[in-house]
A and B are shown apart, each in its own frame.
Chain A
Amino acid sequence: MLEVDLRKRLGEFELRAAMRVPAAGVVGLFGRSGSGKTTLINLIAGLIRPDSGSVRLGGQTLSEGVAGPFVPPERRRIGYVFQDSRLFPHLRVLDNLRYGARRAGPGAGAIGLEEMVTLLDLAPLLGRRPHQLSGGERQRVALGRALLARPRLLLLDEPLAAIDAAHRAELLPYLESLRTRLSIPVVYVSHQLEEVLRLANELVLLEAGRVLAQGPVSELSLRQELHGMLPTERVGAVLEGVIERHTADGVELRVGAGTLQVSVEEASVPGTRLRLQVLARDVIIATQSVQGLSVRNVLRGAVTRLRTDGDGVLVEVDVGDGARVLSRITTQACAALALRPGMEVWALFKAVSTRGHAYHLGATLSPEPPAH
C-alpha cells in the first residue's frame, strides 16, 4: 500500500496531491501534459524533495515534511521506468539488466534474470548496446532492469510516449503479461486513455497539480471530471464482463443483466474477464423495445442520470448489477423522448463498435475472481 499526501511548488506550478495505491494492481495516473504527473512520481521515487507532506510505502515512512526522515531514492527500492528509457549507453543490455539486480542482491519470490529475459523476449538483445535498440526494445530492457532490482513499487512514466505509434502496440502485451506476474503495486502514468484502460484497475485523475478523482476505471468512466479531460468523441462508459461463449463473430459477453456481442482480436476462453469501452456517441436510446433492427446489442435498463454536455445530453443508464452505459444524444431528442431519471429504456449499439476497445483483464488482478 502506497500513501501519498504531498505539496511541491515549482515556480508558478503547485502540486498538491493525495492518493492511495493498493498493495497490488495497476493504478493509472491520468492527466494532460503539464498536470504534474511526472512531478508526482518523482516525489514518490524521492528524486525531488517535497515542500511538505508525506510518502508511505508498506508501512514505512519514506518522506515526512521538510525536517522529518527522508529516505534517498537509492534506498527506497522503488522501480522507475522513464519515458526516455535512460539505459546506460556504455553498458551492454545484459549489464544494464544486471545493474539493479547486483545492487539489490538475491531475494525470494523475485523474478530472476533468466525468467525476465524470457518474459520480455530479451535474449536476442543481451549483447547489444542501447543505441542499437529500437524504442520499444529499449523500454523492454528498461522495464526488465527496473524489475530485476526487486522493487516494492513500480513507477512507469509514459513508457510508450517515446515509441512511434506503429510500434507502440508491441509493448502493451508485455506490460499486460507482467501485470499478472507481479505482486507489487504499479503506478502507470499516461495521457493516453487507451493505455490506461488496458492496464489499470484504478484511475487517478490529475489536473493542474490537483487530484480530481480516484476510483475503479469503470466508475470513473462515468464521471464528469474524466470527460472534461477527453475529446467529446472519446467519452464512453467502461464495462467489464465475463465471456460466456464463442460465436461466429466473436464472443458473447455477460454484462450486467444482459449479454453483448463483442468481436475480439484474440481468442479467449469462456470465463475470461473482458473490459471494453462503449463510446457514448455510438449508443442509441429507445424508450420501448424495438424489433427488426440490425443492431445486435440491446441492453435493457433504467436512466440514472441526465447531464447536459456541450451541445448535447449524456444519458447514464443502469443496465443491471451496477454496470452502466453512457449515451450521447441531442437536446431535442432528449426532450422528445421526455427522458428522466428512473425511466425504463433500451440502450442499443452495434457489435462492431466495440472493436479496438476491448481489453483482456489479467485474472489475478481483476476486482473479483473470474466467474465460471
Chain B
Amino acid sequence: MPEFRGVSRSPTMSASLSPAELQALRLSLAVAARSVLFSLPLALACAWVLGRVRFPGRTFLDALVHLPLVLPPVAVGYVLLMLLGAQGVMGGWLHRTFGLQLAFTTAGAALATAVMTFPLMVRAMRLSLEHVDRGLEDAARTLGAGPLDRFLSITLPLMLPGILAGALTAFAAGLGEFGAVITFAANVPGVTRTLPLALYTAMQTPDGDAQALRLALMSFALGLGGLLAAEAVVRRVRRTLGR
C-alpha cells in the first residue's frame, strides 16, 4: 500500500493523519459501535437476570459474565477462535448453514470486542437497576401497569443513566481492544486493523515512531473523550431525573 501523506509538510512529524491511520480510526469507531449495538440488549437482559431473578447458578453466571475482566484477552480470542473459527465447533456450522464467517472479519473484531467489554456494560446497568426504587414499580402496579408496561415506562427510563454510561464506557474501551481482536480476527489492514493494532504494527515498522506516537495520542484522546462524554451524559440525565 503506497504511503502518501496528503497535506503534510514534514513526512515524519506531521500532525495530520495518513489514510492508513484514518482507516484505522474509522475501523476502530465502527468496530466499537457494532460491538456496543450487539451487546446492549444482551447486557440489559443479563443485568436484569442478575439483579432481579433469584435462581441457582446465579453466582456462576455472574462470574462467567465478569470473566473477560480477569482473563488474558488473548485467551478470550483463542476461545472464540475455537468456537467460532472456520474449523470451530459453531463456526463450521454457521459457515455451512448461513455462509457466515466471523474469524478474520470486521464483524469478528466487533464480536471479540463485545465479549471483552460486556462486563463493563453489565456492571453499569446492574448498578443502575439496583438504584431503581422498587417502590416506584409497586406504585405503577397499583396504577394498573403490568410487568412489561412497568419495565418500559418506569424501570427502563430510570436505568437510562446506567445504560448510557455503560454503553459509552464500553464504546471507549472497545476502541482500544487489542488482544482478543488480534487473536480472533487477526491484523488485516482495512478489515480488522483497528487503532491499537495499527499502533502495534507501527511499532514493529523500522521508522514508524512518529506514526506510533500519533496513534497513541489519538487513542489517549478518544479514551479520555469517551469517559468525559459518559460522565457528562450521566450528569445531564440525572439532572432531569432530579437526583
Q: Which of A11-19, A81-89, A186-194, A276-284 contacts B (4 or more CB under 8 A)?
A: A81-89
B237: shortest Cβ distance to chain A, in Å?
9
Q: Which residue of A lies closest to B142 (CB)?
A: A80
B41 interface hit (Cβ, 8 Å): no
- The contact of B242 among A74, A75, A77, A131, by CB within 8 Å, is A131
B144 interface hit (Cβ, 8 Å): yes
CB 8 Å contact bits of B129-145 with A (1 = contact, 0 = none): 00001011011111111
Cβ contact within 8 Å between A103 and B144: yes
Q: Which residues of A contact B241 (CB under 8 A)?
A: 89-90, 129, 131
B40 interface hit (Cβ, 8 Å): no
Cβ contact within 8 Å between A129 and B242: yes
B169: shortest Cβ distance to chain A, in Å?
22
Cβ contact within 8 Å between B142 and A45: yes
Cβ contact within 8 Å between A99 and B143: yes
- The bracket for how many chain A residues form the interface is 20 to 34
> Which residues of A, 83-133, contact B by the 8 Å Cβ criterion?
84, 86, 88-90, 99-100, 103-104, 129-132
Cβ contact within 8 Å between B240 and A129: yes
Q: Which residues of B contact A145 (CB under 8 A)?
A: 143
CB 8 Å contact bits of A126-142 with B (1 = contact, 0 = none): 00011110000000000
B146 interface hit (Cβ, 8 Å): yes
Given contacts A90-B241, A129-B240, A130-B242, contact A47 B158 (CB under 8 A): no
Q: Which residues of B contact A274 (CB under 8 A)?
A: none
Q: Which residue of A lies closest to B146 (CB)?
A: A74
A146 interface hit (Cβ, 8 Å): yes
- The contact of A90 among B142, B146, B157, by CB within 8 Å, is B157
Q: Which residues of B contact A76 (CB under 8 A)?
A: 142
Q: Which residues of B contact A72 (CB under 8 A)?
A: 141, 146
> Which residues of A, 209-238, contact B by the 8 Å Cβ criterion?
none
B54 interface hit (Cβ, 8 Å): no
Given contacts A82-B139, A84-B135, contact A89 B243 (CB under 8 A): yes
- The contact of B139 among A75, A86, A103, A104, by CB within 8 Å, is A86
- The bracket for how many chain B residues form the interface is 20 to 34
Given contacts A88-B154, A90-B157, contact A146 B142 (CB under 8 A): yes
A270 interface hit (Cβ, 8 Å): no
Cβ contact within 8 Å between B138 and A47: yes
**Cα separation A130 to B138 with both chains bound (whole Å):** 17
- The contact of B136 among A78, A88, A131, by CB within 8 Å, is A88
- The contact of A99 among B138, B140, B160, by CB within 8 Å, is B140
Query: Which secondary structure dominates chain A's binding surface?
Result: mixed
Cβ contact within 8 Å between B145 and A82: no
Given contacts A89-B241, A89-B242, A131-B242, contact A74 B145 (CB under 8 A): yes
- The contact of B142 among A79, A84, A129, by CB within 8 Å, is A79
A73 interface hit (Cβ, 8 Å): yes
- The contact of B135 among A78, A86, A132, A146, by CB within 8 Å, is A86
Q: Which residues of A contact B140 (CB under 8 A)?
A: 88, 99
Q: Which residue of A lies closest to B133 (CB)?
A: A86
- A72, A79, A86 interface centre (most CB from chain B within 10 Å): A86
Cβ contact within 8 Å between A73 and B135: no
Given contacts A89-B243, A132-B242, contact A74 B144 (CB under 8 A): yes
> Which residues of B, 123-182, contact A by the 8 Å Cβ criterion?
133, 135-136, 138-146, 149, 153-154, 157-158, 160
Cβ contact within 8 Å between B141 and A86: no
Q: Which residue of B lies closest to A83 (CB)?
A: B135
**Cα separation A110 to B136 with both chains bound (whole Å):** 25
Q: Which residues of B contact A131 (CB under 8 A)?
A: 241-243
> Which residues of A, 257-272, contact B by the 8 Å Cβ criterion?
none
> Which residues of A, 45-91, contact B by the 8 Å Cβ criterion?
45-47, 72-80, 82, 84, 86, 88-90
**Cα separation A84 to B138 with both chains bound (whole Å):** 12
A329 interface hit (Cβ, 8 Å): no
Q: Which residues of B contact A77 (CB under 8 A)?
A: 144
**Cα separation A89 to B136 with both chains bound (whole Å):** 9
**Interface pairs (13), CB distance under 8 Å:** A72-B141, A72-B146, A73-B141, A74-B141, A74-B144, A78-B142, A86-B136, A86-B138, A88-B139, A88-B140, A99-B153, A103-B143, A103-B149
Interface residues in chain B, defined as those with a beta carbon under 8 Å from any beta carbon in chain A: 133, 135-136, 138-146, 149, 153-154, 157-158, 160, 240-243
